[in-house]
């Protein structure tokens, strides 16, 4: 089990960030997610595995400068 | 304790007015040559049209200078103002000062928005703004004591040179046992010996029992300060500040909206970017992942070692604890490193506390120099602050030097024997120390990219054409630290910014490139109208912009205009209305800024700038300069030539494709200019039309005269 945006969500082995966002139904709004203390950007979503028991934060990221 | 001496040469007593709806309703004028001190009224017109903060600075500057005034003329004032909302402790990000002057780098107005306690303390002491003219041959300390209602001018001898020691000493000297009542503004030796000196604004950190610092960095405001003979400004005010201190028009309404925003940040920042823990360092790897982190003088947007400079590292290095640069701010992003030991310079081997680094310093003094060692970045950060140097201009200037060195335009014969290749940490530090001493090659670097291009061409025989492409300045100001090659909107954000390429006016990269919110020229132009206007508004009011769009409401994505974060914009309108009593809707905030923004454009015009020909960019900001750059992202560029430009690239060499791409991209930027000028109500030469200045109520006779002199007739 993982937590996504504060809510429990089922985890499965081999789940990538891209998989998670697609299944979660929100693939486009977040160019960045944070998995625990680690930031992952959209270009790396497909290559980044979500570990079990992770806390995933969806970061809208429209600002910066 | 140093053997310093402060000799009182002038005391001016005044009656502190009650603050009314965020205003003291008067400004303080000082002349360092004549020692004149005067209190001047804030008029109804000033409040209606210029609001406060940067708006007041601009109005004071406009009245103080002529088109012939240069940065080092005594009449060029330094103006520092807060704003009607500044000093509110309950609303996040409400303690900003805005410093403005004619810039040594650009010749036009530069403004810098900075944290620390000085601006609010100045206002509560009775002054919405401070204007300092004149120049002294002796070192001067100005002391504004709002508690005792006196302004004092001291001549000083024996004070420390660097900003850290100086602020610490003056805090102790004037505190009367209450250091939190003191805020010091100071520059440093680097400010004296370069054109990009910064100002350090202090705030006292009671938990760590030390003065902390934020910097008004851009454009050489510290250089003007030092040139005037100013060692420091000191403000004293009772730190027991509440929402009542601004005497808001509607206290309960203010408390309600302040609580909403503050509470939301407390709830959401830990779920988003954790700025209260890691500041803006999260941006490093995010920018790198999106090919937006400048590396090697803006050649490339990513590097395999970038994570060495990322948040994971600084999360460990930052000293934990509350780091708000104004009281009660829940963003609290002003972090620092405790017990850092520099390996060079006058503090070598001694433990120091370093305020920073933030993203800009990491990118400017790290990745853009090919330096991926966080400790070197911290050391550069420390010495830039201590010497009074802008870390952004320092980074971008040294990056230019490093590329010139690699291209063979500079040799050790020009650099005093230094190898200034990318990644050379010792040389980067040595250049900074030389800047502070005003010696050697560092003295040349300290003149900024624009002047370096001339010096390298005239004295070293370097090719001016290649330097025009890779010297990252526009209007004379060094670029801040974002890659713009793939974002036309951000090219406009930098190239059309009034003061030069600084991101505080428009930061559209993510909206443009990542979210694709503005695919057409018209949409880009609309963004380059609305965003600079709203961002300007923060500096009119004494606010920080981070609470607006760095922490996003959870339901923002479903709103009609997610990029604008309209829920927060509405809160800001409520905030403004509740403090000033001037009932305002979100669109009113834009109109307030529009008047000041257009006034500043006319001001630039008056000073000999402010036309289309000045809104230019070095080609490095627009596209790949070298074949190497092209080939590093060949798929991207080939695709654009094929899909967008409809060019058959079969059989074409890289040099041919480079030239075709350049022609296309430069034309795109010119088309963007046309669209933006039209949206802003300007002529095709980038000058506000008569109808625009009339609509905005800035059609003063002097403004009309400037327009007429520049071909905009009635």
Q: Between β-strands B129-133 and B26-31, what pairing exists: parallel, antiparallel or unpaired? A: parallel
Q: What is the pLDDT of residue A60?
A: 80
Q: What is the pLDDT of residue B513?
A: 84
Look at the alpha carbons of B439, B441, B442, B446 in this order and tell me if their dihedral is positive or negative.
positive
B481 and B368 Cβ atoms separated by less than 8 Å: yes
Please report which residue ranges of B269-389 form alpha helices under DSSP H: 275-278, 283-289, 311-317, 359-365, 374-387
Distance from CA of B267 to the nearest CA of A (A): 12
Secondary structure (3-state) at B105: coil
Distance from CA of A60 to the nearest CA of B (A): 7
What's the mean pLDDT when you consider all of chain B? 97
Find the CATH number of the domain harbouring B215: 3.60.9.10
Euclidean distance between CA atoms A9 and B410, whole angstroms = 58
Euclidean distance between CA atoms B503 and B497, whole angstroms = 8
Instruction: Clarify whether residues B299 and B184 are in a common domain.
Output: no
Buried b (16+ CB within 10 A) or exposed e, B229-268: bbbbbbbbbebebebebbebbbeeebbebbebbbebbeee
Instruction: Clarify whether residues B242 and B284 are in a common domain.
Output: no
Q: Which residues of B touch A38 (CB under 8 A)?
A: 312
Euclidean distance between CA atoms B224 and B135, whole angstroms = 10
Domain contains B255: no
Q: Which residues of B touch A32 (CB under 8 A)?
A: 286
- pLDDT, one tens digit per residue, over B1-36 is 468 999 999 999 999 999 999 999 999 999 999 999
Quickly count helices (H) and strands (E) in chain A.
1, 5
Q: What is the pLDDT of residue B2?
A: 62
Instruction: Clarify whether residues B213 and B305 are in a common domain.
Output: no
- pLDDT, one tens digit per residue, over B246-304 is 999 999 999 999 999 999 999 999 999 999 999 999 999 999 999 999 999 999 999 99
Percent of chain B at pLDDT > 70 equals 100
Choose from A3, A21, A43, A63 for mutation: most chain B CBs within 10 A. A63
DSSP, res B389: B
Instruction: Clarify whether residues B151 and B208 are in a common domain.
Output: yes
Instruction: Clarify whether residues B81 and B169 are in a common domain.
Output: yes
ipTM (interface pTM): 0.89
Instruction: Clarify whether residues B39 and B134 are in a common domain.
Output: yes
Instruction: Clarify whether residues B433 and B307 are in a common domain.
Output: yes
Euclidean distance between CA atoms B373 and B308, whole angstroms = 7
User: B441 burial class (0-12, 13-18, 19+ CB within 10 angstroms)?
Assistant: buried
Q: Which of B421, B447, B478 is the last residue of a domain?
A: B478
Name all domains of chain A by residue range, CATH numbers in brackets. Answer: 2-59 (3.10.20.30)
Distance from CA of B547 to the nearest CA of A (A): 10
Domain contains B224: yes
Q: Please give the tally of structural domains in chain B.
A: 2
Euclidean distance between CA atoms B233 and B117, whole angstroms = 12
Q: What is the pLDDT of residue A30?
A: 85
Instruction: Clarify whether residues B359 and B466 are in a common domain.
Output: yes
Domain contains B500: no
Q: Which residues of A touch B312 (CB under 8 A)?
A: 37-38
Instruction: Clarify whether residues B429 and B368 are in a common domain.
Output: yes
Choose from B510, B550, B552 for mutation: most chain A CBs within 10 A. B510
Q: Enumerate residue ranges in chain B where pLDDT < 70.
A: 1-2, 714
Q: Whole domain around residue B394: which residue ranges? A: 280-317+335-478
In 3D space, the residue among A60, A65, A47, A38 whose CA is nearest the CA of residue B283 turns out to be A65
Of B315, B514, B563, the CB nearest to A37: B315
Domain contains B555: no
Domain contains B339: yes
Instruction: Clarify whether residues B237 and B284 are in a common domain.
Output: no
Instruction: Clarify whether residues B296 and B232 are in a common domain.
Output: no
Instruction: Clarify whether residues B205 and B346 are in a common domain.
Output: no
Q: What is the pLDDT of residue A40?
A: 94
Find the CATH number of the domain harbouring B420: 1.10.569.10
Domain contains B585: no
Domain contains B241: yes
**Closest Cα in chain B to A60:** B552
**Dihedral in degrees, nearest 10, Cα atoms B450, B451, B456, B459:** 150
Domain contains B87: yes
Q: Between β-strands B199-205 and B352-355, what pairing exists: parallel, antiparallel or unpaired? A: unpaired
Please indicate whether, in this complex, the C-beta atoms of A63 and B550 are within 8 angstroms of each other. Answer: yes
Q: Which residues of A touch B315 (CB under 8 A)?
A: 37
């Amino acid at each position: 089990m993982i937590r996504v945006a504060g809510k429990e969500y089922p985890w499965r082995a081999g789940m990538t960030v891209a998989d998670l966002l697609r299944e979660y139904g929100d693939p486009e709004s977040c160019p960045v997610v944070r998995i625990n203390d680690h930031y992952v950007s959209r270009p790396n979503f497909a290559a980044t595995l979500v570990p079990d028991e992770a806390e995933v934060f969806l970061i809208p990221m429209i600002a910066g400068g | 304790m140093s053997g310093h001496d402060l000799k009182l040469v002038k005391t001016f007593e005044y009656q502190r007015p009650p603050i009314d709806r965020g205003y003291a309703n008067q400004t303080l004028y000082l002349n360092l040559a004549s020692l004149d001190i005067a209190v001047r009224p804030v008029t109804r017109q000033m409040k209606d049209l210029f609001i406060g903060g940067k708006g007041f600075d601009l109005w004071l500057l406009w009245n103080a200078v002529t088109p012939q005034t240069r940065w080092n003329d005594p009449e060029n004032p330094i103006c520092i103002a807060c704003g009607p909302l500044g000093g509110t402790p309950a609303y996040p990000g409400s303690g900003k000062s805005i410093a403005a002057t004619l810039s040594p780098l650009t010749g036009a107005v530069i403004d810098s928005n900075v944290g620390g306690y000085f601006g609010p303390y100045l206002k509560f002491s009775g002054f919405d703004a401070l204007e300092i003219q004149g120049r002294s041959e002796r070192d001067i300390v100005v002391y504004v004591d709002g508690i005792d209602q006196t302004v004092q001018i001291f001549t000083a001898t024996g004070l420390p040179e660097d900003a850290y020691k100086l602020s610490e000493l003056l805090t102790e000297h004037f505190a009367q046992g209450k250091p939190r009542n003191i805020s010091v503004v100071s520059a440093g030796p680097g400010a004296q010996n370069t054109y990009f000196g910064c100002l350090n604004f202090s705030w006292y950190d009671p938990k760590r029992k030390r003065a902390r610092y934020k910097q008004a960095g851009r454009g050489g405001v510290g250089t003007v300060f030092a040139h005037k003979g100013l060692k420091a400004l000191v403000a004293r005010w009772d730190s027991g500040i509440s929402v009542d201190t601004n005497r808001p028009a509607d206290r309960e309404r203010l408390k309600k909206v302040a609580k909403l925003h503050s509470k939301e940040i407390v709830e959401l920042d830990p779920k988003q970017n954790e700025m209260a823990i890691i500041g803006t360092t999260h941006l490093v790897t995010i920018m790198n992942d999106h090919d937006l982190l400048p590396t090697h003088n803006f050649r490339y947007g990513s590097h395999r070692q970038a994570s060495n400079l990322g948040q994971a590292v600084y999360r460990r290095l930052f000293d934990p604890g509350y780091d708000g640069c104004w009281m009660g701010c829940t963003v609290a992003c002003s972090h620092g490193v405790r017990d850092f030991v520099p390996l060079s310079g006058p503090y070598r081997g001694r433990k120091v506390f370093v305020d920073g680094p933030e993203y800009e310093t990491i990118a400017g003094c790290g990745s853009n120099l090919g330096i991926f060692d966080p400790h070197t970045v911290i050391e550069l950060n420390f010495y830039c602050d201590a010497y009074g140097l802008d870390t952004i201009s320092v980074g971008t200037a040294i990056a230019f030097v490093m590329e010139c060195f690699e291209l063979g335009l500079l040799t050790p014969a020009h650099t005093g024997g230094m190898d200034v290749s990318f990644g050379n940490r010792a040389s980067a530090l040595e250049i900074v120390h030389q800047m502070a001493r005003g010696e050697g090659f560092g003295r040349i670097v300290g003149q900024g990219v624009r002047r370096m291009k001339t010096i390298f061409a005239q004295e070293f025989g370097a090719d001016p054409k290649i330097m025009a492409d890779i010297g990252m300045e526009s209007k004379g100001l060094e670029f801040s630290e974002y890659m713009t090659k793939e974002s036309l909107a951000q090219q406009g954000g930098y190239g059309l910014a009034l003061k030069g390429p600084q991101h505080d006016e428009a930061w559209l990269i993510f909206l443009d490139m990542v979210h694709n919110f503005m695919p057409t020229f018209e949409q880009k132009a609309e963004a380059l109208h609305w965003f600079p206007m709203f961002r300007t508004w923060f500096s009119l009011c004494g606010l920080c912009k981070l609470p607006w769009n760095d922490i996003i409401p959870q339901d923002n994505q479903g709103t009609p205009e997610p990029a604008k974060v309209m829920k927060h914009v509405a809160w800001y309108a409520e905030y403004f209305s509740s403090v000033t009593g001037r009932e305002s809707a979100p669109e009113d905030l834009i109109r307030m800024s529009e008047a000041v923004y257009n006034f500043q454009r006319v001001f630039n015009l008056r000073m000999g700038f402010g036309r289309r020909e000045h809104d230019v960019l070095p080609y490095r900001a627009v596209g790949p300069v070298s074949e190497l750059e092209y080939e590093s992202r060949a798929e991207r560029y080939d695709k654009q030539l094929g899909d967008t430009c409809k060019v058959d690239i079969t059989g074409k060499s890289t040099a041919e494709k480079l030239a075709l791409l350049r022609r296309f991209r430069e034309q795109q930027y010119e088309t963007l200019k046309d669209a933006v000028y039209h949206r802003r109500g300007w002529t095709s030469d980038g000058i506000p039309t008569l109808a625009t200045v009339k609509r905005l109520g800035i059609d003063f006779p002097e403004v009309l005269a400037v327009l007429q002199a520049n071909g905009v007739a009635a």
